[in-house]
């Protein structure tokens, strides 16, 4: 019927507002524009407000700025870099901390490990790119030099912190320039994380020096891409893994003052400790000693770790975990290991990184307050035109950054849909009213109605 059809039409219109605007890609765009993902380790979101970044400002004034990303727990380097390239929570990609123990294999992981075993629970985007028939390039991105799912990145460096930013960038740029099959490139730099750990984020003199260097490196990146003829043709996502919190000698949690070292094994210590009770029949005793150890440290039995942390369903998570409050440091005995740290609860703003994006796919001068860092993965797959593997991210939350997407305000969309419904309801009522008052319908009218019904069916299929 007419009403049914109108209603259907209005639903279509409503949906269209949320749907892609025409062809996904403008075809050629996706096919020919490579994607570069850059991480400046430990770039806390609010550094953007506290320090000046002339080059970065330049970068996002002509692109997209996102104030803060909610990253994944634990807010450590390896878990978050792997989440960026898989779209998975740590419990689902298997890189859960900087130090891990796997009870199945009796293997131990540290950030120096070169055993791909740890990474094989997921498939990073560069491997998917290669499986789709393209090439990838990576300069020191965590994991890119290991044979994950039997593949390193196509072009890569073995991890070496001594290779300067300029050298990493120079190599990456020439890989991109000289090998047109390279679709995806990833670049990693250790600052401002290194300075944040060493001096603490509250040391504004040291931080501003380190951040000026980071900004200069962003300037260098823009310049080199320009020289290679890539600027304006390449899509760039510039982000980080986590933020940084100030630690203090006054905020120490000493396990030795609560429990004997003979009662437990430490896999990882701070700010999230992974604890294995020595005597498996004494788990509850160890737990209760740790649970009442310090008001600024929470203890969880594995089964009781809060769902929102998405940090439970993996064999590499130990029977007891301890989570320090922001700025507190867990030690066994001794003194403060470093003035700045991260790894804390991912709901803390101090743990959040920012994001900036630039390139033909992105809006210019666009600003968003935030989304989840795992949402970057479906965005990247979309930009690359490759299928996304099962992941925890959402493209819906990031698509507004793209120039090809029509993005009405959610409130406006809902308003329009409600408005249309009100009009339709009114029309229905009027129609019924008229029908009720008028003389009984003549045969031709009834036939018309019947025909209308017939027409409707294919539409509704």
Ligand X SMILES: *[C@@H]1O[C@H](CO)[C@@H](O)[C@H](O)[C@H]1NC(C)=O
Which of 42/277 has CB closer to Zn ion? 42
- Cβ of residue 82: shortest distance to Zn ion, in angstroms? 12
- Cβ of residue 417: shortest distance to ligand X, in angstroms? 24
**Residues 29, 70, 75, 77: which is the catalytic one?**
77
Rule CB under 5 A: say whether 41 interacts with Zn ion: yes
Annotate the chain with three-state secondary structure. Answer: CHHHHHHHHHHHHHHHHHCCCCCCCCCHHHHHCCEEEEEECCCECCHHHHCCCHHHHHHHHCCEEEEEEECCCCCCHHHHHHHHHHCCCHHHHCCCCCCEEECCCCEEECCCCCCHHHHCCCCCHHHHHHHCCCEEEEECCCCCCCCECCECCCEECCCCCCCCHHHHHHHHHHHHHHCCCEEEEEEEECCCHHHHHHHCCCCHHHHHHHHHHHHHHHHHHHHHHHHCCCCCCCEEEEECCCCCEECCCCCEEEHHHCCCHHHEEEEECCCEEEEEECCHHHHHHHHHHHHCCCCCEEEEEHHHCCHHHCCCCCCCCCCEEEEECCCCEEECCCCCCCCEECCCCCCCHHHCECEEEECCCECCCEEEEEEEHHHHHHHHHHHHCCCCCCCCCCHHHCHHHECCCCCCCHHHHHHHHHHHHHHHHHHHHHHHHHHHHCCCCCHHHHHHHHHHHHHHHHHHC
Query: Which residues of the chain form contacts with ligand X (CB under 6 A)?
Result: 23-25, 27, 88-89, 92, 106, 150, 163, 167, 170-171, 174, 256, 279, 281-282, 310, 333-334, 390-392
Q: Which does 201 bind (CB under 5 to 8 A by kind): Zn ion, ligand X, none?
A: none
Q: Which does 88 bind (CB under 5 to 8 A by kind): Zn ion, ligand X, none?
A: ligand X
Task: Please work out the total of residues on this chain that contact Zn ion, with binding judged by CB under 5 A.
Answer: 5
- Cβ of residue 42: shortest distance to Zn ion, in angstroms? 5
- Cβ of residue 64: shortest distance to Zn ion, in angstroms? 23
Which of 281/369 has CB closer to ligand X? 281
State yes or no: is 77 an active-site residue. yes
Contact residue for Zn ion among 65, 68, 71, 193 (CB under 5 A): 193
Structure tokens at 317: 């998570």
Which of 197/310 has CB closer to ligand X? 310
Which of 5/194 has CB closer to Zn ion? 194
Q: Which does 193 bind (CB under 5 to 8 A by kind): Zn ion, ligand X, none?
A: Zn ion
- Cβ of residue 137: shortest distance to ligand X, in angstroms? 12
* 280 close to 263: Cβ distance less than 8 angstroms: no
Q: Which does 256 bind (CB under 5 to 8 A by kind): Zn ion, ligand X, none?
A: ligand X
- Cβ of residue 170: shortest distance to ligand X, in angstroms? 2
Which of 256/453 has CB closer to ligand X? 256
Which of 270/350 has CB closer to ligand X? 270
Q: Which does 314 bind (CB under 5 to 8 A by kind): ligand X, Zn ion, none?
A: none
- Cβ of residue 32: shortest distance to ligand X, in angstroms? 12
Those residues with Cβ within 8 angstroms of residue 210's Cβ, 6 or more apart along the chain or in another chain: 191, 192, 194, 195, 196
Rule CB under 5 A: say whether 241 interacts with Zn ion: yes
Which of 214/230 has CB closer to Zn ion? 214
Residue with smallest beta-carbon separation from ligand X:
170
Contact residue for Zn ion among 77, 195, 217, 224 (CB under 5 A): 77
Q: Which does 77 bind (CB under 5 to 8 A by kind): Zn ion, ligand X, none?
A: Zn ion
Q: Which does 370 bind (CB under 5 to 8 A by kind): ligand X, Zn ion, none?
A: none
DSSP summary character for residue 162: T
Catalytic residues: 77
Residues that bind Zn ion (CB under 5 A): 41-42, 77, 193, 241
């Amino acid at each position: 019927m007419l009403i049914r059809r109108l209603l259907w039409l209005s639903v279509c219109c409503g949906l269209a507002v949320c749907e892609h605007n025409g062809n996904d890609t403008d075809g050629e765009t996706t096919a020919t524009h490579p994607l570069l993902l850059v991480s400046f380790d430990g770039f806390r979101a609010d550094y953007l407000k506290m320090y000046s970044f002339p080059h970065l400002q330049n970068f996002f004034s002509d692109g997209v700025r996102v104030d803060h990303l909610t990253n994944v727990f634990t807010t450590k380097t390896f878990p978050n870099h792997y989440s960026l390239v898989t779209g998975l929570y740590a419990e689902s990609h298997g890189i859960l901390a900087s130090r891990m123990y796997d009870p199945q294999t009796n293997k131990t992981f540290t950030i120096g490990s070169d055993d791909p075993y740890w990474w094989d629970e997921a498939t990073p985007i560069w491997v998917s790119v290669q499986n789709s028939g393209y090439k990838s390039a990576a300069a020191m991105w965590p994991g890119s030099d290991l044979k994950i799912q039997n593949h390193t990145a196509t072009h890569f460096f073995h991890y070496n912190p001594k290779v300067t930013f300029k050298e990493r960038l120079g190599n990456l740029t020439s890989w991109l320039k000289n090998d047109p099959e390279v679709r995806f490139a990833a670049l990693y730099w250790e600052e401002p994380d290194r300075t944040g750990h060493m001096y603490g984020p509250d040391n504004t003199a040291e931080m501003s020096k380190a951040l000026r260097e980071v900004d200069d490196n962003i300037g260098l990146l823009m310049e080199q891409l320009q020289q290679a003829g890539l600027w304006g043709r390449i899509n760039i996502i510039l982000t980080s893994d986590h933020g940084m919190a100030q630690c203090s000698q006054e905020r120490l949690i000493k396990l030795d003052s609560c429990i004997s070292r003979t009662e437990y094994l430490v896999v990882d210590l701070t700010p999230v400790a992974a604890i294995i009770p020595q005597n498996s029949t004494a788990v509850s005793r160890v737990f209760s000693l740790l649970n009442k150890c310090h008001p600024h440290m929470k203890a969880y039995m594995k089964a009781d770790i809060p769902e929102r942390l998405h940090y439970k369903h993996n064999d590499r998570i130990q029977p007891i975990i301890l989570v320090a409050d922001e700025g507190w440091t867990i030690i066994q005995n001794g003194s403060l290991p470093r003035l700045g740290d991260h790894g804390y609860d991912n709901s803390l703003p101090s743990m959040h990184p920012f994001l900036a994006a630039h390139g033909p796919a992105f809006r210019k001068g666009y600003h968003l307050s935030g989304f989840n860092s795992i949402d970057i993965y479906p965005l990247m797959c979309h930009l690359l035109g490759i299928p996304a593997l099962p992941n925890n991210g959402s493209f819906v939350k990031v698509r507004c950054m793209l120039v090809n997407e029509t993005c009405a305000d959610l409130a406006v969309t809902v308003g329009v849909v409600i408005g249309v419904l009100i009009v339709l309801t009114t029309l229905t009522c009027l129609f019924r009213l008229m029908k009720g008052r008028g003389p009984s319908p003549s045969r031709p009218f009834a036939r018309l109605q019947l025909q209308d019904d017939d027409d409707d069916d294919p539409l509704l299929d």
